[in-house]
Each structure stands twice: as C-alpha cells, then as structure tokens.
Amino acid sequence: MTHRYFVRLSFQGTHYSGWQIQENAISVQEKLNQALTVISGHEVATTGCGRTDAGVHARMFYAHFDLSEPIADPGRMLYQLNAILPDDIAIHEIIDVPENAHARFDATSRTYEYFICRNKNPFLRDYAFHGFRNPDLNLMQKACDIIKSHTDFSSFSKSNTQVKTNNCKITHAQWEYRNEMLVFTITADRFLRGMVRAIVGTLLDVGTAKMPPEALDEILLAKNRSQAGTSAPAAGLYLTRITYPYLTEPAGFQFPG
C-alpha cells in the first residue's frame, strides 16, 4: 500500500535555480528529495505544487511524496528533515493525505506578493527590489483592473513553455504601501512561467508614465511577450499562499523584519 504525504515548506530562493530539478544547477526539489531519501532509506521523489524561477522565494509551498510504510512519528521526521536541509529551506508540516491527493493539480488558487523597497537598504538586497520610490499607484491599479478582465496571458509568459493553455483566471491584483515597502499582491488559479515578474515590470512602466494603463489591453491581445515590459528582478517575488479544498489554511505571510 502506498502512503501519500504533503509537506508544507518555505525557502529563500536566492541560491537556487528554482524549485524544479535541473541539470547543472541546484534546486530546492533536489535538496528535499535528498533529505527524504536519507531519512527513509530508499529513493524518494517529490512532486511540487508548481515551479518557481531562479531566485524567487516561497513562504508557502507544498509538495507530495509516497512511502511504502506509514510515518511512525511525523514530529520526529519533521525534526530530522530540518536538521538535514540547508538553513534556507524549512519544513513546517507533514500531512497525511489520501493516495490520490496531488500537490499541483488539486491547488485551487495561488497568491504571489512582490516587494519593492522604497529606499535603498543593503540588508534587503536579496529580499526586495530597490529603485522605485513613488510610482503612481492609481495608474497601476487601473492597469490591474484591465489585467483581471483578460484570461490569455501569453504576453506575460516565457517562450517555449510546455503548457496546454496560457489561460489563467486572476481574481485579485492590488498595489499597496506597507511601511517602507510597496507591495503587489496577485491571486489566480494558475500562473505561467515568469508571469508575475513580467506583470510587475509592465505595471511599473505604467506607474512611471512610460505607458498608459490602457496599453495593457493591446499588450494582452497581442499574445506576444515582446510587447510587454521588462521582467522585475526575482529577489522581490514570494509565493505566499496556496489553497486546497481539503487542507486547513495556515497563517498568512509577513515580510521578514
């Protein structure tokens, strides 16, 4: 009998090529697989809730894995995993789930937050984007409303991605100030590769008067990545929330410090 488990984890993505295993690059998935293999005594492969770009962080990330025997002491295994894993990866919970539960396909929504430091701060250089003091939030919010009216986000996707559709349903997109931070929050049923960073970069072009909000209609209808703005740096991006119909949602994300 197969026993399936979810792990809820977080990671600082600065030193990783992203979640997914890649040749000639270090990934979060590789480190987690190695730790689970050491503890279980046989090879364990995880399946993540999605993939993140190199340098992107995750406050909340889920992955599932299978074992032939049930975990006798989940608390002890949690301690062992955290002892083996690098300091920039943390396991918060091990959850016994039905055999057909799937970390990627069962997720009903995902939320990202992008942090922009309004003043240069050497202590946050790996955690936020620097350089935009006062972009026009009203203009950027108008552009957000236009984005939510579309479903095809080909213009905000990396090219040559192996997905069946570029359609996504965005339910929330908002800019706000949080103390010294300018924060963009976006929620959708799914995201394309590089999508959030491309959206942020384009919205900042709107906020600095390089293009009007109405340009978002033309960009999205073009279905061409070259029509949109430059992607924002990875350091400011966090995956902060994932929802499943059968999991209790943990506490939300607060920026470090």
Give the domains, in start order, of the chain with CATH numbers: 3-106 (3.30.70.580), 109-241 (3.30.70.660)
Each residue of 30-74: pLDDT tens digit? 999 999 999 999 999 999 999 999 999 999 999 999 999 999 999
pLDDT (0 to 100) of residue 254: 61
pLDDT score of 252 more than 60: no
Q: Which two tokens stand for residue 235?
A: 């350091």
Locate the DSSP E strands across the chain: 3-11, 47-48, 57-67, 89-97, 109-117, 129-130, 170-178, 181-188, 237-243
Give the residue numbers marked as catalytic: 53
Q: Which two tokens stand for residue 43?
A: 């090879």
Greatest alpha-carbon pair distance for the chain in Å reads 60
> For strand 129-130 and strand 170-178, is the pairing parallel, antiparallel, or unpaired?
unpaired
pLDDT score of 165 more than 70: yes
Per the model's pLDDT, the better-predicted residue between 164 and 74 turns out to be: 74
Each residue of 120-154: pLDDT tens digit? 888 888 899 987 678 999 999 999 999 999 999 99
Band of pLDDT at residue 257, cut at 50, 70 and 90: very low
SS3 state at 60: strand
> 195-207 and 137-148 are packed helices; what angle lies between their axes, rounded to 10 degrees?
140
The CA radius of gyration of the chain, in Å to the nearest whole number, is 19
The mean predicted confidence, pLDDT, of the chain is 92
Q: What is the dihedral of CA 133, 134, 135, 141, to 10 degrees?
A: 120
